[in-house]
Amino acid sequence: MSAAQTGSIADIHGTQGFGLNNLPYGSFDAGAGFRPGVRIGDSVVDLRAALAGHPRVSDALRVALDTPSLDGILAAGHLVWAELRELVTVLLGETPVDDRLSKTVHAIASVRIGMPFTVSDYVDFYTSEQHALRVAEIFQPERPELSRAWKHLPIGYHGRSATVVASGTDVVRPKGLRLDGSAATFGPTRQLDFEAEVGFVVGTTDAVSEVSLEDASRHIFGVVLLNDWSARDIQMFESAPLGPHLGKSFATAISPWVVPIAALENARVQPPTRDTPLAPYLDDRGMQPWGFDLRLAVELNGEVISRPPFSTQYWTAVQMLAHMTVNGAILRSGGLFGSGTVSGERRDQRGCLLELTWNGTDPLPLADGTTISYLADGDEVRITATAPGAGGSTISLGEVTGWISPATAMKPV
């Protein structure tokens, strides 16, 4: 036996980014059907098998693990999340590793990875001040300012949960109505874009509403990377006065490993100073900070074209959750909400091509000497992120990747 194999599961399989300090959850199938797993390095541990017969597993956790994805865990609530993380941390850090536990570990390359949870509702926000200001500059240069409400509440809209897809799903170029000169014309989008976002995953034992900031902090299970694929020409034609619809709803992709909030304690940062007084239900002064130092990177066909910093987002996840339920709207387990495009001050920190190319009018130079305005068929977009962990370590948020497939055929006219 080599020295490496004498350590714990974490010693043997853990990597920088996916060590004992991270332990993101997902759904996988090693041949016996989809089930919940926890990632360590490039391997996944079968939670149901690893915790079977464990004397300290509560009935609630045992029931929670008896689902194909994370649905049961999300619906079990925050006390069970804490129990699970503690048990798994101990189990994967223990030596010696018994044979039974070793058999619950599978190489990720050898299994199928599924959607981590069933998305019950999906809301997308607009919480980067830099992004919102730049979009205003692009589309209303005569009045390049934030909307009246922007600093009073986190702006958002309800998206389509049915087309939230797992990373790796091909994105078929959507068709729709767009302006061609002054004529409304139906056809494949000419302005296909990505939006680099962070998604928050919600769990709750009961359907609740009017969630306070403090309660919100107990309902947010973890984070994923989210690509809010966008067809700008379709979006721009349809949006006034009600906001985006078909320009967004054809595909929203998320990373398959949900990083628990508990893994991000070292990444917490104060959100930017608010210069507008907040309504009591959004006033987060005095509570632990819900900004996070997540460092995103966007790759186009393998070339990094942007590194958006999440730490400067104006509104936090708990404020978004409190806001979306303050009117009595119901929060269900499995809810997903996106931060909106993450963008920083510099050009190389912009989280979408709309901003990177100024709506295609200032194409972005690439390493091979060509330029890009919007995405072409065959392009691949990959979004990754890291966060600081304890003791100088790194937490990886994994990746969300998608490849652009040509539009489906048009009926001849």
Stretch that binds Ca ion, among 60-68, 191-199, 200-208, 307-315 (CB under 5 A): 191-199
Residue 106: exposure state from Cβ atoms within 10 A (0-12, 13-18, ≥19) = middle
Q: Which is nearer to Ca ion, 228 or 355 (CB)?
A: 228
Please pick, from the candidates 46, 71, 121, 124, the single residue that binds Ca ion as defined by CB under 5 A. 124
Q: Does 238 bind Ca ion (CB under 5 A)?
A: no
Helix (H) or strand (E) segment spanning residue 225? strand 220-227
Residue 117 or 337 with smaller CB distance to Ca ion: 337
| Closer Cβ to Ca ion, 10 or 196, answer by number | 196
Task: Compute CA distances 317 → 284, 312, 314, whole Å.
Answer: 11, 13, 10
**Smallest Cα–Cα separation from 80: which of 67, 95, 100, 65?**
65
Nearer to Ca ion, 194 or 221 (CB): 194
> What is the SS3 string spanning 22-88?
CCCEEEEECCCCCEEEEEECCEEEEHHHHCCCCCCCCHHHHHHCCCCCCHHHHHHCHHHHHHHHHHH
Burial classification of residue 262, based on how many CB atoms lie within 10 Å of its CB (0-12 exposed, 13-18 middle, 19 or more buried): middle
List Cβ neighbours of 349 (8 Å cut-off, separation of 6 or more): 130, 306, 307, 308, 309, 343
Active site residue 158: no
| Binding span for Ca ion by CB under 5 A among 38-46, 124-132, 258-266, 392-400 | 124-132
For residues 155-174, which are near Ca ion according to CB under 5 A?
none
Q: Nearest CA to 80 among 165, 178, 205?
A: 205
Closest approach, Cβ 340 to Ca ion, in A, equals 5
Under the criterion CB under 5 A, does residue 193 sit at the interface with Ca ion? no
H or E element that contains 92:
helix 78-93
Cβ-based nearer residue to Ca ion, 71 or 124 = 124
Tokens read off for 306 = 């942007």
For the chain, report the end-to-end CA distance as a whole number of angstroms.
70
CB of 195 to Ca ion, least distance (A): 4
For residues 222 and 25, is the Cβ–Cβ distance under 8 A? yes
Catalytic residue among 13, 78, 131, 219: 131
CB of 342 to Ca ion, least distance (A): 10
Residue closest to Ca ion, measured at CB: 228
Q: What angle do CA 321, 326, 329 make, to 5 degrees?
A: 85
- SS3 of 164-198: EEECCCCEECCEEEEEECCEEEEEECCCEECCEEE
The window from 32-40, 89-97, 121-129, 352-360 that contacts Ca ion (CB under 5 A) reads 121-129
**Which residue, 124 or 238, is less far from Ca ion as judged by CB?**
124
Q: Give the per-residue contact string, 216-235, with Ca ion (x = CB under 5 A; - = no).
A: ------------x-------
CB of 155 to Ca ion, least distance (A): 11
Residues contacting Ca ion: total by CB under 5 A: 3
CB of 228 to Ca ion, least distance (A): 4
Rounded to a whole number of angstroms, the minimum distance from the CB of residue 198 to Ca ion is 11
Q: Does 195 bind Ca ion (CB under 5 A)?
A: yes
Q: How far is CA 206 from the centre of its chain?
A: 23
Nearer to Ca ion, 21 or 128 (CB): 128
Work out how close the CB of 106 gets to Ca ion at its nearest, in angstroms, rounded to a whole number.
34
Residue type (1 letter), 93: G
Please identify, among the stretches 53-61, 123-131, 216-224, 257-265, the one whose residues bind Ca ion according to the rule CB under 5 A: 123-131
Which residues participate in catalysis according to the annotation? 131
List residues binding Ca ion (CB under 5 A): 124, 195, 228
